[in-house]
Structure 1
């Protein structure tokens, strides 16, 4: 997918990471919406209908799975694919925690080039 037409919603509670990644994605030509928590992210997903949601898996008030479940219940936004960011690097633990057979994620800390590759791959795949 062409980044010039891709809108990414980035939901991350770490303000430094949120700022750095949003700046990088903007420089790379993406239209970036940012949210500091799950509730903001759900609102922006409903209002902005992004092409991809980049979401922290572990946040204080609402975790990434809860955010995804809430967005899947919004008809206009149910199709939006997710890419999760997590401190957990063991895929079997993630699958067990999320109750999903497959999950697209990038383990923190990550290289920005790896993030861009993961975003492009996720956009190419479509819905979760």
Structure 2
């Protein structure tokens, strides 16, 4: 009688389970949000099923991940990143940076800052000198 070895969880499978646990979601809750079944999600998390690109994106969206985190999830599942990332000084980011400057100016005379995803200082208003 032959026995079949259980598939080892992939990096993607481990990451989905970890992020779901961090959000204290059940498999059923996440599966419902992602438009799949709890059984299919269980197979994905155990490594028994390899999710398609669309499923990776739906799970990432359902977990409320940032675009950078969604790209990371796609890469861990073996797919190319779906969301472009623009450097802070690029023309594509210009309108957003201008809007942030306007908001910071609106907070005067109170100090205000804009921090990046890793806590780095991106922008500050003129009153920021009071804090430092």
TM-score when scaled to structure 1? 0.26
Whose strand proportion is higher, 1 or 2? 1
TM-score when scaled to structure 2? 0.25
Whose helix proportion is higher, 1 or 2? 2
Identify the structure with bigger relative contact order (alpha carbons < 8 Å, sequence gap 6+).
1
